[in-house]
Amino acid sequence: MLACSARGQTGKGNIHIHSLKDKRCICDVCGQTFTTSKGTIFYRLRTNPEIVMCAIVWLAYGCPIQAIVKAFLLDERTVRDWQKRAGQYCQQVHEHLVESKQHDLEQVQADEIKAKTQKGTLWMAFAIWVPTRLWMGGVRDMELIQSLADKVRQMGLCRPLLLAVDG
């Protein structure tokens, strides 16, 4: 499947149902079959996807992992794995849809967040495309603003850009 010439292309009509029972599809180009959950956070999970999504939504709203563990009678490592999978998947989607393309940005607003974690204080800078309110990205390192400006510059067309900060 990785070597398929149609990999990553959408709307070509080359993917068809191979088995409804096993939830498998087939590619007409390379002849390989694959599960419908391939490339998603649900790939090779044994838990009902509705429970996984419920847990991820609760995590996104700040629910403690221990509360999810108690509510669904799960192992804490399982919930942490789901959280990690969801984060990695969201990162891939963001990179594909936002970071891999150039945009006519016009105006971007940057700010920073100070968060306290069990490992100490953490600083993160982030940028938002003002007209659309699209999250352009964030960085977490010592040279926050320069790293963030470089990231935004890579996504912007070669046009004047207003990058506003509050300090």
pLDDT at 85: 94
Profile the chain (167 residues) by mean pLDDT over runs of 10 residues.
74 84 85 84 91 95 95 95 94 87 86 82 86 84 75 83 72
The beta strands (E) that lie in the chain are given as: 15-19, 24-27, 33-35, 107-117, 120-129, 134-139, 162-164
pLDDT at 57: 96
pTM above threshold 0.75: no
Domain ranges of the chain: 1-36, 49-99, 107-164
